[in-house]
Amino acid sequence: MSIKKAQGKDMRKAAIGMMLAASVCFASGGLFMKLIPWNALAINGARNVIACIVIGIYIIVTHHRLKINATVLIGALAMAGVTTGYSIANKLTTAGNTIILQYTAPIWIMVMMYLFFGKKPSRTGVISIVIVLLGILCFFFEGMSTGKWVGDLVALLSGVFYAGVFMLNSFEKGDAVSSVFFGQLLCGVCLSPLVLKETDFSAPVLWSVFLLGAVQVGLAYIFFTTGTKYIDPLTASIINALEPILNPVLVAVFYGEKLGRLSFLGAVIVLCGILYYNINEAMEQKAADSLSA
């Protein structure tokens, strides 16, 4: 084996490790949210201040040049919508419902591309949309009986914002790091003053807030952006599916909150729909690249 191939293999192994680490870090969010007895907006303000510092250090170390333009700033607003919606939803519904409904972002990307740019989804995309919508209905049917449908709706809205972030970052003038940094800065500046209204500043609470910002957002994003540079989309999409599975498991084990039966069914359906789409799209792209090579 040549040195170049060996180095490439080592980089791929390291990237897979980073993606796994990113999924675990992201998945910790539901548990930390439940452990912090603060208002959802205060939590989001505090965690974004910490995350902003972590990402800021990453920007300085990597010499990444921040961009400021309309695309980046709209992306920042969408990012602020993602984190705020996620925080609110975690307080109004289960952590499992929140992360699964946010995980529907790829479906909303296809919907937005059709509505705003007239790009029709592929056959795989249409099938995925139908599957995911069936899963979403399961969440809302159960939400109607448990009173958690508002939280489910906010979680779904967070997924729509997340789709906007991905879409805007793919534009020529988009920049993922810049949008994330400015979105975190916006939430930190606007929402962190709400922390002053809280009364519980015990060590477990403060540690949870710190880990939520530094690990669940800051480190997770660094691992994710680095890892995706060195592995194919198929591998990345499969590893990324660990987050919505691990998130409710951690909450169930350490907090005692479990998904309802209908929500569990909905989660399985949504995960299958998204994985079906991601895997098929990645395989089709790989086949197209092979033909053009």
What DSSP string describes 229-270?
TTS-HHHHHHHHTHHHHHHHHHHHHHT-----HHHHHHHHHH
Across residues 191-209, what is the average pLDDT?
96
Q: How many CA atoms lie within 13 A of 106 on its CB side?
A: 27
Q: Is the pLDDT of residue 234 over 70?
A: no
Q: What letter would DSSP give residue 212? A: I
pLDDT > 70? residue 7: no
Provide the pLDDT for residue 293.
59
pTM for the complete prediction? 0.87
Q: What is the chain's mean pLDDT, rounded?
A: 87
* Domains: count for the chain: 1
Q: Is the backbone of residue 118 left (phi > 0), alpha (psi -120 to 50) or beta?
A: left
Q: Confidence class of residue 8 from pLDDT cuts 50, 70 and 90?
A: low
**Tokens 């510092």 — which residue?**
53
Q: Which residue has the higher pLDDT, 74 or 5?
A: 74
Indicate the pLDDT class of residue 65, thresholds 50, 70 and 90.
Answer: very high
Give 207's pLDDT tier (boundaries 50, 70, 90). Answer: very high
Q: What is the pLDDT of residue 4?
A: 46
Other C-beta atoms closer than 10 Å to the C-beta of 151 total 22
pLDDT at 1 over 60: no
Mean pLDDT of all residues in 38-60: 95
Instruction: Report residue 283's pLDDT band, with 50, 70 and 90 as the boundaries.
Output: confident
Rounded CA-CA distance 23/277 in Å is: 19
Q: Which amino acid is at 190?
A: C
Residues 224, 18: Cα–Cα separation, whole Å: 7
Task: Supply the pLDDT for residue 5.
Answer: 52
For residue 224, name the pLDDT band (cuts at 50, 70, 90): confident
Residue 162: CB partners within 8 Å, gap ≥ 6?
78, 82, 102, 105, 108
Query: Mind listing the pLDDT tens digit for each residue in 152-190?
Result: 999 999 999 988 888 887 788 888 889 989 999 999 999
Measured distance between the N- and C-terminal CA atoms of the chain, rounded to whole angstroms: 23
- Determine the average pLDDT of the residues in 18-44: 93
Range of the domain at 121: 3-292
pLDDT-derived band at 3, boundaries 50, 70, 90: very low
Q: In residues, how long is the chain?
A: 293
Task: Show the tokens assigned to 85.
Answer: 């919606």
Q: Which residue has the higher pLDDT, 225 or 269?
A: 269
